[in-house]
Amino acid sequence: MKRKNILITGASSGLGRGMAIEFAKQNHNLALCARRIDRLEALKQELLVINPNIQVLIKSLDVNDHPQVFDVFSQFKQEFGQLDRVIVNAGMGKGASIGTGFFEANLQTAQTNFIAAIAQCEAAMAIFREQNSGHLVTISSISAVRGFRRAMTVYAATKAALTSLSEGIRIDVMNTPIKVTCIHPGFIRSEINEKVKTVPFIVDTETGCKAMVKAIQKEKANAYVPSYPWAILHWVLRIAPLSVIRKMS
C-alpha cells in the first residue's frame, strides 16, 4: 500500500532527518515536526531540491508538551486531508547509572522516550481510528531486548517499554486496516551518540536510515536494522550472559 502522507517527529536531526530524506526520494509528502524550527526550514528546502514534486509541511513541536502533540498532529491531518503513516521518532539519550546523582537527566529521558511517545501514539491512533486506516511506526532500539548499564540504563528501559506499547496497540487493532510496526535500530551514527567512539557494528546515518525506511515500507510487526547483523544478533543478545552485555555498554 502506498502511504503518501507521512508524519515524522524529531525530524530536525539524526534518524528523523535521515528518514525524511529517504522518503522524499520515494515521492512521499512529509509532515515534519521538532523543537528547532530553523533546522526544519533548512531541511524543507533541501527536500524540495531533492524532489520538487512533493509537499513538505513543518511545525515546531516539543513532544513533552502533550496537548501540543494532539494539536500539531490534528493540524497536519487537516492540511493534508489524511495522514497515512506516523513515525514516532523523537527521543533522547541523556542519563547515567542509577544512584549516581543524575536523576533529572534520567527522568528527562524517561519522559521524552516513553511518556511523550504515549502522547504521540494516542494522537496518531485517534486519527487512524477515525480514518479506519493508517500505519503507526515506533522507533525503539536494539537495546530494548536487554538491560544495559550506565547512560544506557534508563534509555534501554524506555525502549523496552516502547516495544511493549507497540505490541499492545498492534493486538488492539488486529484484523483492521491499521498497521503497527516497531523498528529496532542497531548502532547508527547520529547526534545522540556522536561522542561515543567505540561502538560495535556501527553504520553511518545514511546507511542506517535507508535500512530503516526499507523496513518501514515492508510494514512488518517488528524489524531489526540494518538486517546484518541485527536480525540475528538480537536473538544472541537475549540469551547472552550479563558479562557480555556489560562489555557492550
The CATH number given to whatever domain includes residue 242 is 3.40.50.720
Q: What is the mean pLDDT of residues 207-219?
A: 97
Q: Is the pLDDT of residue 58 over 80?
A: yes
Q: What is the mean pLDDT of residues 221-248?
A: 84
Catalytic residue from among 23, 73, 76, 155: 155
The CA dihedral of 180, 181, 182, 187, to the nearest 10 degrees, is -160
CA distance 141 to 158: 9
Q: Is the pLDDT of residue 229 over 70?
A: yes
Amino acid 249: pLDDT: 66
Cell of 26: 520515494
Amino acid 234: pLDDT: 80
Phi/psi for 234 (5° steps) reads -65, -30
229: preceding bond cis by omega (within 30 degrees)? yes
CA distance 223 to 184: 6
CA distance 182 to 163: 6
Q: Length of the chain, please?
A: 249
177: preceding bond cis by omega (within 30 degrees)? no
Find the domain containing 178 and state its range: 5-248
Phi/psi for 240 (5° steps) reads -65, 145
| Catalytic residue flag (residue 155) | yes
Residue reference for cell 553511518: 204
Amino acid 199: pLDDT: 67
CB 51 within 8 A of CB 102: no
Phi/psi for 201 (5° steps) reads 60, 25
Task: Label residue 71 exposed, middle or buried (CB < 10 Å: 0-12, 13-18, 19+).
Answer: middle
pLDDT > 70 fraction of the chain, expressed in percent and rounded: 95
Number of domains in the chain: 1
Residue with more model confidence, 194 or 133: 133
CA dihedral sign of residues 143, 64, 219, 12: negative
CA distance 193 to 195: 5
Amino acid 164: pLDDT: 98
* Band of residue 242 on the pLDDT scale cut at 50, 70, 90: confident
Q: Is the pLDDT of residue 15 over 70?
A: yes
Q: Is the pLDDT of residue 102 over 80?
A: yes
